[in-house]
A and B are shown apart, each in its own frame.
Chain A
Amino acid sequence: MRTHFAEVLAHESAVLAGVTDAAKLAGWRRRVVQELMTPQSPYVLALRQAVDASDRADFLGRWRELIAETVNRLLQSSTRGDTNGSSVQPHRGDVDAEQAAVLILAALHGGGTLSQIAQDPRPLNAALDLALAPFAPPPEARADDKRTEPPDQ
């Protein structure tokens, strides 16, 4: 179990460190969704309820820190006014990075579980749409985003 934790954290710290704008955030998201929809992926194994609760707590705590650092970076680049067409535009000025990171991690965890039992990535995507809404790219940058949601059943 420890190796899954280490493997996920190694991936995540490498990838999240490079997330500097909304497009890269969307890339991160696509990859994590793919991992969580792959049975036996280290992501799936690491998030499964396990006996070693203290290792899990450390793992989740560290992942949350990585997400919070990324959120902070995105918020700072948007307040610096970086305009490369893909910068984030927080919908509210008062986004708290720590709390946003809790929701993002909960969305991965809860959305991942719901998607696994439904065998359908839609619950996870719905969860991430909600959690990442403050960091969604402005509408014009979304025009070339091919990830479209299927219509409601």
Chain B
Amino acid sequence: MTPADSHNGRRLTARGARTRARIVAAAAELMYIQGVGATTLDDVLAASGVSKSQLYYHFDGKEPLVRAVVDHVGQRVIEREREALSHVSTMRGLRRWRDALVQNNALRHGAYGCALGSLASEVADHDALARRVLSTLFTEWQELLAGVLRRLQSGGALPAEVSVDQLATGLIAALQGGYMLAQTERDVTPMATSIDMALAHIESLSTV
């Protein structure tokens, strides 16, 4: 049983699951746009259109709601990244991945950043459980990138002695940091620069 279809161990009806999903989707959207700290349960009530008793039936406070948002956003981002990365085996493919992320972020002038990274920087120091879940999600994302680098390595585009885990971690940090700089500057340029510099470094390790 996943947390999405249960409540305190009880199985939700289809209608209950839909209500819960509506609350989580509304909360995720609000927290993405205005931040976790600035989002109140009243905001979520208004945006989701559910009743107070429905909200409290599913979540007995903000903390469990934030955790549900972390699960929801994490699943979405990891699915997107798995789809984008699991077949990439060339530098060119990796650059296409970069182009899609930059392009998407440029649509909003970088204003909102990475949904998962924003949660990480807001939640990290006041909820140990959410922090651990976020850490697992970022490890999954890093694994997807490490998979790409391993395929580059077996194709001969990266030398065998390069530590792909180390590089993948550096790349995801550059991506996340880029998102955060872009968000502050309301301009996607620092994000593009940051990933480009990281990719250029990876390419410079190339043996061919």
Show the binding face of A for B, using Cβ within 8 Å. Answer: 39, 47-49, 51, 53, 56-57, 60-61, 91-92, 99-100, 102-103, 105-111, 113-114, 116-119, 122-124, 126-127, 129-131, 133-134, 149, 152-153
Contacts and interface: CB of A to CB of B under 8 A. Distances in A.
User: For the complex, would chain A's binding face be called helix, strand, loop or mixed by DSSP majority?
Assistant: helix
A51 B36 CA distance: 12
B173 A107 contact: yes
A60 B181 CA distance: 8
Contacts of A106: 173-174, 176-178, 180-181, 190-191, 194
A111 B172 CA distance: 8
B20 interface: no
B206 to A, nearest CB: 12
B96 interface: no
User: For the complex, would chain B's binding face be called helix, strand, loop or mixed by DSSP majority?
Assistant: helix
A123 B146 CA distance: 14
Given A114-B138, A123-B173, A60 B184 contact: yes
25 contacts: A39-B125, A47-B121, A47-B180, A48-B122, A49-B122, A51-B35, A53-B186, A57-B184, A99-B193, A100-B197, A102-B181, A102-B194, A107-B177, A109-B180, A110-B175, A110-B177, A110-B178, A113-B117, A113-B124, A113-B176, A117-B120, A130-B170, A131-B170, A134-B201, A152-B165
A131 B176 CA distance: 13
Contacts of B191: 106
Interface of B: 35, 38, 117-118, 120-122, 124-125, 131, 134-135, 138-139, 163, 165-167, 169-181, 183-186, 190-191, 193-194, 196-198, 201, 204
Contacts, number: 134
A123 to B, nearest CB: 5
Contacts of A126: 166-167, 169-170, 173
A117 B70 CA distance: 13
Contacts of A110: 117, 172-180
A119 B125 CA distance: 10
B173 A127 contact: yes
A4 to B, nearest CB: 14
A57, A107, A149 — most chain B CB neighbours (10 Å): A107
